[in-house]
Structure formats: structure tokens, C-alpha cells
Structure 1
């Protein structure tokens, strides 16, 4: 006897679908059928429908003629635009953090970098803590509008397949770059913090270009 799907709110369904897109379990171009998703995630169809509408409004899902809802994809031009804006916003956040971060927040950032040094053999785990690091810098910047823009931008990053941290040596390079950002924040050098953050995003973009131009 097949168990009935459990009930779920639209918010819970959204989180499940977003995680599946971000992890690559639902890659770009995947058709999104309500019934199949409800069965896959053991939730009812109504919250799935609500989640798909929300994802569509955010640009992560689109409707294609004769196909219905599919996971959106980013072309090279869109990827370039995304990383350009990320460089601007992440750089601004780091500069503001150098001015506004408390001593405790700086200590938290240092501890994050130290912890990540032990995750170099686990790119998936490192990718997760990497997101937390950047989010902490944004919170330390004390600018709600900037935080909202970065959160919206990070949603689009979910459409990029794989993580650059899986590329050989990129994980260790990223941790060193994070350390440089934190050092500048701790020194209260806003210009150096912004420059370090911008350099970090540019380096990540170079690696991403290599992934997008790879075989397959």
C-alpha cells in the first residue's frame, strides 16, 4: 500500500524545490510537473503549485511553449551580468562591514575561515559554508537594502550548475581570499576590504567561465 503524500505549506515546498535546483538535483531545463514533484517530495500538489509560482516570479522557473514549467537557465551574457553585479554588491558589503562589524562579528568571520580550512576535501560542504560566510559579511554591513539585493542575486546563482569550489585548488584559494577579506575588515580598512572582496568574486568568475566552457 502506497503511503499518502504528507501535507506541506507553500513555504516548505518552495524550500524543497529551491534546494533541489541549487544542488543540481533539478538542473536547468528540467520539466517541472506538479504531480511528479508532489510524489517526489511527498507533499501535496497545492503547495507545489504555490512554490512554482514563487520560483517563476523570481526567475528560477519559466514556462516554455509545449513544455510547461521548466527550470530556467543562464546564458553566458546573463552569467557575466550576474557576476558583475555580485562583484559590486559583495565589494560594497565588505567595505561597509569594515566600518560596522562588531568585534564579535569579526571573530565569527575568522572562525568561519578557520573551519573552512578543514573542509577542503569536501567541496559540497565548503560550498554551503561559503554561502554562510558571505551572508555573515552582508549582515555585518548593516544595510537592509543591500542585504535584500544580495539575497535576490544569490537565488539566481542556484541556476549555475555545480560549484567552483570543486575545481582543483579553488577551495584553498577561496579560503585564502576569505582570510584576506576578514583581515581587512578587522583592520577597519574599508577600501582594502572592498578590493579583496571584488578580487575574490572575479577569481570565482574566472573559474566559472572554465566550467561553462568545459566538455559536455
Structure 2
């Protein structure tokens, strides 16, 4: 998050972006006065933004301080169940409703993202754009809203599964299968491909977490 003068109405969006990009990580303490200085705004919009983020469970209390929330194993598993179900539905609807232009954009993303397979941070950002495009191609505003909430909660995971060795290439191959199913108008295949993609990401994350525990022992 860059230091710059920012309209007060953007305080919430900028703090949310900083959490989503892991500028602020789970467990980091957010101080109202420091945020106001960094954003170049008064403390009032920052206070309101922090209250909103706390209501959305993206921040939690640690005594009198607000910190970026984290997800335990059970919460993470629950989140992936919901994500897989909703993402699969989005792909199914996209296969039914996506315009040729929307399919073309997805294919353009696939081609462009090939250059990012060895850059986990860049590919993680591209991955979010790719999934968002599928959400929009579902042409269901209520589903898009729910998926936005799910993806905000994904920011509470400390790392991206794409950082695992080989996961970048696998991710792009899985994306390719999703796009081809959508382009073919095969909702069942698109749903299955996207659910499989989320499942693989979850398995990778579980392996990463298990490796951290083993290293700490």
C-alpha cells in the first residue's frame, strides 16, 4: 500500500486491498493513527473502515487492538467447501450465459498468464482476475456478491497455494480445462473442472501447512 493522499471514501477499499495483497498479514496489528498518516486522510474514515472490516470478520480484537484475522484448520476447510460449491456454480452458469467476447477474454488471460508461471505473486494476482472474470460471466449478480465475500475471506490465509513448487503450471492447465468447458457450453464439465481446481488448491495448501508443522517440531 503506497503512501499518498487519498480521498476519504477510499479508506476502506485501500485497507481491504492491503489485506488482500498481504501487505498486512494475519496477525498484523492495524493502528488507526498510522493508517491515517499512511493514507493521508483523517482518522474518522479510517475508524469507520476498521469498524466495517471488523464487522465482516476480516479484523479481530486482541485486547484493545485490532489485528488482521486468521483462519484455523476447521475454518479453512469450511471456506474451501463453500468456495468450491459457489465457484462450480459460477462456471456452470458461465457455460450457459458467457458471451463470445467473455470467452475470448478468458482465453486471452490464459495466454498472458503463461509468462507468469514462475512468479507466484504475479500469478496469484492473475488467478484472482481469472476467477473474477468467470464470476462475472455467470451473469448472476447475487452469486457474484457471495463470491466476493468468499474471496475476501481467502485473504486471511497467510500464503497462496500457487507458491508451492509446480503449482503454477498445474494451475494454468486446470484453468485451461475450465475455459474449454465454458467455451463448449458444457455446464456440467465446467462445474466439475472448477471444483477439481479448487480441490487441488486445497490439497496443496494442506500439504504446505503440514510441512510448516513438521519443520516447527
Question: Alpha carbons of 1:91 and 1:7: their partners in 2 closer, same or farther (altered >3 Å)?
Answer: closer
Task: Determine helix, strand or coil for the equivalent of 2:116.
Answer: coil
In 2, are the aligned partners of 1:184 and 1:193 still within 8 Å (CA)?
Answer: yes
Where does residue 84 of structure 2 map in the other structure? Answer: 87
Which residue of structure 2 lines up, in the alignment, with residue 116 of structure 1? 113
Cα offset, 1:7, TM superposition = 5.7
Pick which of 157-166 and 176-185 moved more. 157-166
Cα deviations by residue, 1:106-143 (Å, 9 ceiling, x for unpaired): 11111111111111122111111111111111111111
Q: What are the Cα deviations for residues 95-115 of structure 1, in whole angstroms up to 9, with x where unaligned?
A: 111111111111111111111
Instruction: Say if 1:31 and 1:67, in contact at 8 Å, map to a contact too.
Output: no
For this pair of structures, how many residues does the alignment match?
210
Residue 54 of structure 1 and its aligned partner are, at CA, apart by 1.4
Name the TM-score, length of structure 2 as normaliser. 0.91
Q: 1:94–1:185: 8 Å Cα contact kept in structure 2?
A: yes
Aligned residue number for residue 168 of structure 1? 165
Q: Hey, what's the Cα distance between the residues in 2 that align with 1:55 and 1:177?
A: 33
CA separation of 1:108 and 1:157: change in aligned 2, threshold 3 A: same
- Residues in 2 aligned to 1:45 and 1:110: alpha-carbon distance in whole angstroms: 44
Partner of 1:44: 42
The 2-side partners of 1:24 and 1:189 are apart by: 36
For structure 1, list consecutive stretches of 5 or more residues without a partner in the other structure: none
8 Å Cα contact 2:6-2:39 kept in structure 1: no
Determine the C-alpha separation between the residues in 2 that align with 1:8 and 1:145.
Answer: 29
> Following superposition of structure 1 onto structure 2, how do residues 40-189 of structure 1 map, counting pairs within 5 Å?
40-64=38-62, 66-189=63-186
TM-score (norm 1): 0.92
SS of match in other structure, 1:70? strand
Task: Indicate which of 23, 31, 34 corresponds to 2:32.
Answer: 34
Q: Secondary structure at the match of 1:213?
A: helix
C-alpha separation in 1, matches of 2:175 and 2:78: 23
Distance, in Å, in 2 between the alignment partners of 1:80 and 1:98 is: 27
Q: Which residue of 1 aligns with 2:209?
A: 212
